[in-house]
Amino acid sequence: MSMRIPSRQLARPAAVLNGLRTAFLPIRTLTSSAPRNADKKNDKKTTKKADNHDDAATSEQNWNPILAQYNAKQEASKPKPTSKTAAIAPRPFVPPGSLPPTSIFDVVPERTAAEKAVLERRAKLDRLYQTDAPGLPSTTEPAEEQPTTAAAAAAAAAAEQDADEPAKLLDRRIAAFALDPNPAARRRWERKRVIRTIARRGRLSKTELLARTERRADFKSPFLNTSVKKLTKLANQIAGKPVAQALVQMRFSKKKVAREVLRALEMARDAAVVKHGMGLGKAEGRTGGAVEVEDRHGRKRVVRDRTEMYVEQAWVGRGAYAKSMMARARGRADVLRHPTTSISFVLKEEATRIRLSEEYKKKRDNRKLWVQLPDRPITAQRQYALW
């Protein structure tokens, strides 16, 4: 190679080595690609015909008379549509949902005019499809005959009640999985309670009597991004105050977490009204007269609504710590621990505070007077001195 072309010229272009000095090379004119595409199409058609011929030959070899007879019977058994309407299956009627007979929720309200119109339109379409296609199965239920006599009406009502019994029993069995998961333990607990009631001759303890006569609502907030030390200040601030005053205190507080406490207190108030019926004295006209109450610290205030809610207790609970990384020098990092805390409330009505005030006064009135030398009989008397 080096004899014909020097080694230093191997890197030079071939056009320069051959003596070509022109900047452009002659370009050869190419023919159209249409004939080539046509040849490809013809080749594809020829290949497809050959494949079809091979498939036909293979099918003739694998032809099964029993299978062909079965396919012919299946084709003959299929119903042939007589018209376009008969070929379209009627739209299935979906009955509106209803609550089970033993449901604790309210009865579904009566349907509106728009809903009734939609149901009537569906029934008309079903009847139209049914008349055009008499061979199709019926999708509408037959109308029940009205009883003509009182005996027939009573029999129909009894039959309807008997028909509802299996549904009620089934609904009770389904709910038992969640409401009564351990029947044996429930029966033992009920037996103990009955024995205790008989032993007490029907008398209630003070705790049971208060639970039946006074209302109480408990609430626990989700975990808030604050510490126990910071949230305790707010819990002590609202404890013992009426709910309205506590909301005002949290609304105008400068603490950042006070907004979350305000939202939690509003949720607790709403839950107490909805679940326990607390704070409805003005709406129901049972507020009662004005009463002056006194707490255990000697502070007095006037209560004008016995059903008004107040924060009886407020405490905080420590939650889990959230962790994050903080980059430091020399490729190191510190782990930061962010505390979470929840706040809990116990809401009661002013009727409870009135009862406590009366108990404090009664206890104070029944207290014995303190004297320096109590009046008691002298013991161990002797006729002679002991010295």
Q: Give me the residue spans of the domains in the chain.
A: 216-362
Beta strands 291-294 and 216-220 are: unpaired
Q: Please, are residues 249 and 241 in contact by the beta-carbon 8 Å criterion?
A: yes
Residue 342: its pLDDT value, please? 98
Cα separation of 172 and 77, whole Å?
47
Q: Please, are residues 229 and 297 in contact by the beta-carbon 8 Å criterion?
A: no
Cα separation of 292 and 304, whole Å?
9
3-state secondary structure of 219: strand
Place of tokens 């006070």: 258
The angle subtended at Cα 230 by Cα 225 and Cα 233, nearest 5°, is 135
3-state secondary structure of 321: coil
Quick one: which of 241, 260, 258 has its CA closest to 250? 258
Cα separation of 291 and 351, whole Å?
10
The reply to whether the predicted model has a pTM over 0.85 is: no
Tens of pLDDT along the chain (387 residues) come to: 455 555 555 555 554 545 545 444 455 554 544 555 545 555 555 555 555 555 555 556 667 788 888 888 888 877 665 555 555 666 666 666 666 656 666 555 566 777 777 778 777 776 765 554 444 445 445 545 554 566 777 777 776 666 666 666 667 777 788 888 899 999 999 999 999 999 999 899 999 999 999 999 999 999 999 999 999 999 999 999 999 999 999 999 999 999 999 999 999 999 999 999 999 998 888 888 899 999 888 889 999 999 999 999 999 999 999 999 999 999 999 999 999 999 999 999 999 999 999 999 999 999 988 888 888 888 888 888 877
Token pair belonging to 169: 């029993």
Residue 134: its pLDDT value, please? 47
| CATH, range 216-362 | 3.90.470.10
Residue 67: its pLDDT value, please? 82
Cα separation of 311 and 158, whole Å?
53
Residue 132: its pLDDT value, please? 46
Residue 305: its pLDDT value, please? 93
